[in-house]
Each structure stands twice: as C-alpha cells, then as structure tokens.
Amino acid sequence: MGLDMYAFSVKAEDAIGDFEIRRDSEGSVDSTEIAYWRKFNALHGWMEDLYRAKGGTKDSFNCVPVRLTVEDLTKLTDDVLKKNLKPREGFFFGEQKIYPEDIEEVYAFVGKALAEIRNGNAVYYDSWW
C-alpha cells in the first residue's frame, strides 16, 4: 500500500468541470494514462494545493481527480524550476527526498499533458493511497 499517482487524458466532452469525469454505466472512465508516479509526495502536495485553489472541498485528497489546464501546467513547471515542490507527510507517502529523476518525470509529463490538451483532450491528476 502506498501513494499511487496518475495523470490521464479524456475526450474533452467527457470532462465535467474541474473535479468530475463522465463515467459509463459501469463506472469506468474512457481514459489514456500519460503518467504514473509512486510516492512522489511533493508533487501530490502541489496537486492538493491546486485542488484547494480551484475550490475543492473534500477533507481527504484521495481518489479525487483534478483537471489540469495549460496555466496549471505552466505554474507546475515554474514551481519545479524554483524548487517550490515541498515534501509532504503522510502514512503511505514514502520518503521526503526529491530525486533528479522525479523532476525529469515532471517535465516529461508536462510535455505529454500539453500535447494532449493541444489535441483537444482534457488532462486530470488522480491518486490513491
């Protein structure tokens, strides 16, 4: 058990606001995974801050999708460059160190996410711990 983190794209018509995605009759989402992280708690904390800034109100930021816009991805890139990602505490969140490969993965993800948005899709972050 631990912090598993995902970014995925959906067709724009399946995006229902910042925190909800259209699901089929079985509760599934037609999506394409574009990134996966394990226990990168600093990125998860950044995403939780974004969720709260967008008006998210659930007490636990677990299994809660948040839509990412071009502006959000630009801010993420800026915050990574400025070293503004800070490790977060959590029982399932792993160690508190940020590795260079973590930062490289963020940049790769941002590139993929921007390409998805340019192609008319919506991009979301979600997690499970």
What is the per-residue pLDDT across 50-68, written as a single tens digit (0 to 9) for each?
999 999 999 999 999 999 9
pLDDT in the model for residue 1: 59
Closest C-alpha among 61, 58, 57 to residue 3: 61
In a 3-state reduction of DSSP, which class is residue 127?
A: strand
Model pTM? Answer: 0.90
| Residue type present at position 96 | Q
Please determine, for residue 92, whether its predicted confidence score (pLDDT) is greater than 60. no
In a 3-state reduction of DSSP, which class is residue 29?
A: coil
CA–CA separation, 75 and 55 (whole Å): 17
**Burial class of residue 123 in the structure, from the number of CB atoms within 10 Å of its CB (0-12 exposed, 13-18 middle, 19+ buried):** buried
CA–CA separation, 44 and 4 (whole Å): 9
Both tokens assigned to 85: 């990602």
Please determine, for residue 35, whether its predicted confidence score (pLDDT) is greater than 80. yes
